[in-house]
Chains A and B, each alone.
Chain A
Amino acid sequence: MASASASAQLERAYKRMLIPTFLAVGIFAIVPLVGMIGLSFTDYHLIRGFRGEVGFQNFVRLWTDGRFMESIYVMCALSFIGVAVQIVMGTLVAVGLEKIVPRWRLARGFFVIPFAVPAIVTALVWLSLFTPTLSPINAFFAIFGIQIPAILTTQTGAIAAIVIADTWTTYPFVMLLILAALQGISTDLDEAAAMDGATRIRAFFYITLPLLVPALTMVALFRFIETLKHFPLIFVLTNGGPGRSTQATNYYAYVQTFQSSNVGYGSAIAMFLFFFAGVISLYIAKRNARLADA
């Protein structure tokens, strides 16, 4: 079986298995991506059409565009805070389900439900919860004379609102991944350390957590990329406001492309995001390759 010709034949069969995917990805993903790169060097406008190529002008404009710079700041705030909150909460729930309430078998499923809620629905639901005159939370606390502040009217509050809504629907993803990782960790390790309860929490920090680090890094990177692409939440929940203080970069690319019709410039902004995604995905791919070799 290990003859050279049989092996070559096998490799050819493998190659054929790749062809359909290769074609499908090529046509429906690579071609549009190349199109995006092409458009970013033009001044294509949805109303005025093409006037011509503009070289690197769109990219030069990025440097001098205050709104673009601010959008990066907003994007970073949303991504870093969002990922941190989601990681912490997802991990806590996963660890809690495993270690604190292992008997809540059914609850496991309930904790996953928000993951199934479409982003646009998430946005609408939280919009009603964050609007003081509509929200049952405000109505409930009003009984006790407590006024919950409106959070969509300040930049910090609006960013927090997006993070909360996003966390609600994505922590299950983190939770599932951490649950998966926890099951891969031999339990006698921390049970041995947990002989007495006092050290049990410490054992988590010194033994379990370090073992979770690779999984956590992976989840964090995946979530980070996803948070860079926030759209429905901003579109519905904050409308980019107050002012334009929650127009993160991806949303700003949308505003330029669709509201101002500047497809060329919008594509240049998207290129910046694409570059970002490229670097992070390269890192993940390298890391994976290293793990596969090891």
Chain B
Amino acid sequence: MRDDSFSFKLKRGFGILMMLAFAVFAVFPILWVLILSFRPATQLFVPIWETPFELTLENYSAIIGTNFPFALLNSAITAGASTLLALLLGIPAAFALSKSRLSGKFLASWLLLLLRMAPPVGFVIPLFLIYINSGLIDTYAGLIFAYMSLTLPLVVWSMWTTFNQIPNEVIEAALMDGASIWKTLVKVMIPIARPGIVAAAILSFLLAWNDFFFALIITRSETVTAPVAVMNFVSYASVDWGAIAVASIVLTLPVVPVIILANKYIVQSLGGAVKG
């Protein structure tokens, strides 16, 4: 079974080297930002190996005085709420699309994809005009609904494939036992589909959390989100790289443990989407 030939070892060595190179590529920019976030203003771009002990927490304390923490809270609220809302509305819809014999399913699937893919630059202006007239501009509700227009198609699309993998017999058995269809979904289907739900939740949270463009257009001062607030450190005469580095770390950090812990769910759930 094992191959101990020199040429195999060489190839394996080459493979490991390649993986190391990729690992460096993946981690290096994050390390760089981490270093940047601890460097005092005068040492920002002095190579770290020249003055390795010139470190400070100033950048972190300085950012507390800005509106960035507020923006971070806004990001968490809107991304979290839009994800919850999308799950709440999207899971039953995906269930229905997966298990019913409705006609027009194909059209629905196309529409969902299309919405997922439509260029925001086109429809933010109409959305902006609608929001102006309905008073939704610069409100949490407005931003949450806008993000929902991104996350809901994603949730429905991915849960649809997840539910497809659950055999119809499971539902039939539950219905036989006298459960309502609604109860069947909550008590039977959702527990089985949990990995898929976790994956859908994470992907849609990321989608909203990472958004720059929608927030740029439909928020003013009350609901500004963190990705837009980061740009406030690019000012008229200078760029506050220390603050940007801190903001980047703070924006990325909360998501990292989640994504590391949950990546196996994402893999499981995507497995359904790419099967065949």
* Contact surface of A with B, Cβ cutoff 8 Å: 1, 10-11, 13-15, 17-18, 20-22, 24-25, 27-29, 31-36, 38-39, 89, 92-93, 96-97, 100-101, 104, 107-121, 124-126, 128-129, 133-134, 136, 139-140, 168, 176-177, 179-181, 183-184, 195-198, 200-201, 214-215, 218-219, 225, 228-229, 231-232, 250, 253-254, 257, 263, 266-267, 270-271, 273-274, 277-278, 280-282, 284-286, 288-289, 291-292, 294
Contact = CB atoms under 8 A, between A and B. Distances in A.
Contacts of B247: 121
B213 A232 contact: yes
A108 B263 contact: yes
A176 B121 contact: no
Given A101-B19, A113-B260, A180-B271, A31 B122 contact: no
A136 B47 contact: yes
Interface in B10-38: 11-12, 15-16, 18-19, 22-23, 25-27, 29-30, 32-33, 36
B274 A197 contact: no
B27 A110 contact: yes
Given A101-B16, A116-B206, A198-B7, A218 B125 contact: no
Residue of A126, A196, A271 with most chain B CB atoms under a 10 A cut-off = A196
Given A20-B93, A113-B259, A118-B212, 13 more contacts: A21-B156, A24-B152, A92-B18, A93-B19, A110-B27, A117-B251, A198-B8, A231-B212, A266-B122, A266-B125, A282-B110, A285-B109, A288-B109
Contacts of B185: 17
B89 A24 contact: yes
B236 interface: no
B99 interface: yes
> Contact size class for B?
35 or more
A281 B110 contact: yes
A117 B252 contact: yes
B102 A11 contact: yes
A257 B270 CA distance: 36
A45 to B, nearest CB: 11
Nearest to A196: B3
B274 A218 contact: yes
Contacts of A284: 113
Contacts, number: 301
A263 B126 CA distance: 10
A97 B113 CA distance: 30
Contacts of B269: 180
B270 A17 contact: no
B43 to A, nearest CB: 12
Contact of A116 (B120, B123, B255): B255
B230 A121 contact: yes
Given A177-B270, A282-B110, A184 B252 contact: no
Nearest to B209: A118
A291 B272 CA distance: 12
B133 to A, nearest CB: 12
Nearest to B10: A197
A159 B32 CA distance: 23
B146 interface: yes
A100 B230 contact: no
Contacts of A118: 209-210, 212, 226-227, 251-252
Contacts of A126: 29
A111 B22 contact: yes
22 contacts: A10-B100, A18-B97, A25-B152, A27-B145, A36-B123, A96-B19, A96-B22, A110-B23, A110-B27, A117-B30, A118-B227, A121-B251, A176-B263, A176-B267, A184-B275, A198-B5, A200-B8, A231-B212, A257-B121, A282-B110, A285-B109, A292-B164
B121 A254 contact: yes
Contacts of A31: 126, 130
Closest CB pairs A-B (n = 9):
A35-B126, A270-B122, A197-B8, A197-B3, A109-B260, A14-B100, A21-B93, A281-B113, A32-B123
A34 B115 CA distance: 12
Contacts of A24: 85, 89, 145, 148-149, 152
A124 B270 CA distance: 30
Contacts of B193: none
Contacts of A120: 210, 212, 227, 230-231
Interface string B90-125: 101101110111100010011101111111111111
Most chain B Cβ neighbours within 10 Å, of A124, A231, A289: A124
Nearest to B250: A121
Most chain B CB inside 10 Å of its own CB: which residue of A29, A128, A282, A288: A29
Interface in B168-192: 172, 175-176, 180-182, 185
A1 B11 contact: no
A291 B276 contact: yes
B241 interface: yes
A133 B152 CA distance: 44
Given A14-B181, A168-B26, A184-B271, A266 B252 contact: no
Contacts of A125: 29, 32-33, 248
Nearest to B203: A173
Contact of A100 (B12, B120, B125, B261): B12
